[in-house]
Structure 1
Amino acid sequence: MALSIAVSPAIGETMSPLSENTRGAALMMGSMAAFTFNDACMKALSDEVPFFQALFLRGCGTVLLLLVATRLMGALRFRLPRRDWALIATRTLAEICAAYFFITALFNAPLANVTAIIQAVPLAVTLAGALFLGEVVGWRRWGAILIGFGGVMMIVRPGTEGFTIFSVYALVAVACVTLRDLATRRLSGAVPSLTVALSAAVGVTLFAGTGAAIGGEWVALGPRPALQLAGATVFVIGGYLFSVMAMRVGEVAVVAPFRYTALVWALLLGAVVFGDWPSGWTLAGAAVVVATGIYTFYRERRLARAAGPAPLRIR
């Protein structure tokens, strides 16, 4: 999510910038670990539970937990401007498409490969911001974007034996997440983060429930799939909450690069749990994507400092 907020002065009064950024980095690493464990749980379900059933059941748990959170925090708000509701609807549709393509790729391709491709999202958001929102991007960041997408091509390797349709699905997921983030950037500061997250969760759950009803594929859950689904639900909620907390505590340009630690977890879980180890081309491509992404964050930080203080953005 990307919702503009102001930082509470009380935080700055009680904590040095270094400690804020350190906490933000730790929270972002925790968020990426939670998201990757969620992905691993969902992938483990693919052998026993149909796609739509797994997505629907996880969605039900996610919606329930988000309703509790919004109720406790008083963050559920329906009286919003029509423009914001249009953006929320666009974001929800993008989230539905992203969930479908990403999880389909996850069910059928190695965890580390799919995770490596999805790391191109920050580069894609920078590119789309320049093309569609009129954001200024200098030649250095244009170069980083081009090199970064070259790294994506090293991972996907179209035309080779390792290329599959599910690599394309992961790329489509990148496009959908980019649209989601662009829509979220345009939301006004009056829209609570949890309201946005709940809308997306409800949309994905309704989509998955419709698919499960039409497809008619349902299986009884044994203890292990039930535990995996419960784990996926808890991890995905933890990932969202840690991510929001991270972006509220630290500077975006300092904290955001730590999202790439998801790739480390994906490599470990892919090797230990699923017995998959990516090829040298995939590892090299992932390194290029991560390096260019970090450079892009670095350039954005320098430009932000030159432009003066600005509100933080929750991603």
Structure 2
Amino acid sequence: MPARTNHAAPAGALPRAIRDAVLGIGFLSAMDAAVKLATVSLPVTQVTFLRFAFGLIAVAAAIAWTRPRVPTAQALRINFVRALLVVATGLAFFTALSRLPLAEATALTFLAPGFMALFGALFLKERVSGRIVAALAIGFAGMLVIVFGQGGFSSGVTLDPLGVAAGLSAAVFYALAMVLVRARAHLDGVVVIVALQHLFPALVLAGPAAYVWEPLTGDLVWLFCLVGTLGVCGHLLLARAFRSAEAARIAPIDYTALVWAALLGLVLFGEIPGWATLAGAALIVAGAVVASRR
């Protein structure tokens, strides 16, 4: 164990990992903002397909640079099942983005760690402790504050019920995807996982997207080039961060997404998060921290 400590975490590794994680979350938050812009002109199904299809272009560049090993048949099977959950997550979250302010949609996804703890107990036979129950209760209370507090001590805005349901569904689907392939990160390469995470969803969504297809203008093509690049860069930075430092040190940085979302929402859409959103997000984050503590 001492050897692991000395060689696995060289001097400066943690600051670099934190920098990579903050930048990665920032890239993914910017991607979400760009997707929200795209949903104004295009159906959500087409937007979700294009997010993965254009991401494949950036993934191809990463594959050419790193030349990862060919994935095994088992990796393909497991990642295809995960792809179905990724598709469901994308459709649900992009629906939430099209109907909710950016900060509110982002805050609802913070319920995912609580759901992960619950699904770990249900599917992986992990012990259901009082800590998990408390974490779920705290996170659920935060969600209620965000949803029902808007007309009270917030800005007087009522959130779209379908958008709220979509945001909650995205958190559930994401948690299932994470529980399903939690161990694959040690078996498959980072670039392989990111590549399959784009390839399989694009294939699954190609038919439904063609059915609702709307013509793309030149501006939208460039927008999705940006979406694909931001998404792949964000995932690669996060993967490098988690590879360079302990997960427990990096995972809390995910909550900087709310800061990014609030800033991007203000600059691009003129959205100002209300006190209900901030208070509810604080409760959800507290529940997630309780759920993830050892």
TM-score range, shorter chain: 0.7 to 0.9
Whether the 8 Å CA contact 1:80–1:191 is kept in 2: the answer is no
Provide structure 2 residue ranges, at least 5 long, that are not aligned to the other structure: 152-157
Shift of 1:153: 2.2
Name the SS of the counterpart of 2:181 in structure 1: helix
Aligned to 1:96: 87
In the alignment, residue 170 of structure 1 is paired with which amino acid?
A: G
Whether the 8 Å CA contact 2:24–2:235 is kept in 1: the answer is yes
Whether the 8 Å CA contact 1:52–1:209 is kept in 2: the answer is no
Aligned to 2:263: 268
In the alignment, residue 43 of structure 1 is paired with which amino acid?
A: K
Answer yes or no: is 1:27 the counterpart of 2:20: yes
Shift of 1:247: 0.2
**What's the C-alpha RMSD, in Å, of the aligned pairs?**
2.5
Whether the 8 Å CA contact 1:21–1:249 is kept in 2: the answer is yes
In the alignment, residue 194 of structure 1 is paired with which amino acid?
A: V
Q: 2:138 aligns with which of 131, 147, 167?
A: 147
In structure 2, what is the Cα distance between the partners aligned to 1:27 and 1:200? 20
TM-score, normalised on structure 1? 0.82
In structure 2, what is the Cα distance between the partners aligned to 1:14 and 1:288? 32
Whether the 8 Å CA contact 2:88–2:173 is kept in 1: the answer is yes
In the alignment, residue 172 of structure 1 is paired with which amino acid?
A: S
Q: 2:281 aligns with which of 286, 290, 299?
A: 286
Whether the 8 Å CA contact 2:44–2:91 is kept in 1: the answer is no
In structure 1, what is the Cα distance between the partners aligned to 2:116 and 2:88? 17
Aligned to 1:214: 211
Per-residue Cα deviation, 1:152-189 (whole angstroms, up to 9, x for no partner): 22223399843511110111111110111011114373
Aligned to 1:127: 118
Name the SS of the counterpart of 1:95 in structure 2: helix
In structure 2, what is the Cα distance between the partners aligned to 1:67 and 1:10? 35
Provide structure 1 residue ranges, at least 5 long, that are not aligned to the other structure: 1-7, 301-315
Equivalent residue runs for 1:240-255 within 5 Å: 240-255=235-250
| C-alpha distance 25-13 of structure 1, shift in aligned 2 (>3 A) | closer
Q: 1:40 aligns with which of 25, 33, 38?
A: 33
TM-score, normalised on structure 2? 0.88
Whether the 8 Å CA contact 2:150–2:274 is kept in 1: the answer is no
Q: 1:73 aligns with which of 57, 66, 75?
A: 66
Equivalent residue runs for 1:155-170 within 5 Å: 155-157=146-148, 161-170=158-167
Which aligned segments of 4 or more residues in structure 1 are displaced greater than 4 angstroms?
8-11, 158-161
Answer yes or no: is 1:178 the counterpart of 2:171: no
Answer yes or no: is 1:229 the counterpart of 2:220: no
Name the SS of the counterpart of 1:277 in structure 2: coil
Per-residue Cα deviation, 1:35-63 (whole angstroms, up to 9, x for no partner): 10000011112223343333333322211
| C-alpha distance 188-69 of structure 1, shift in aligned 2 (>3 A) | closer
Whether the 8 Å CA contact 2:25–2:254 is kept in 1: the answer is yes
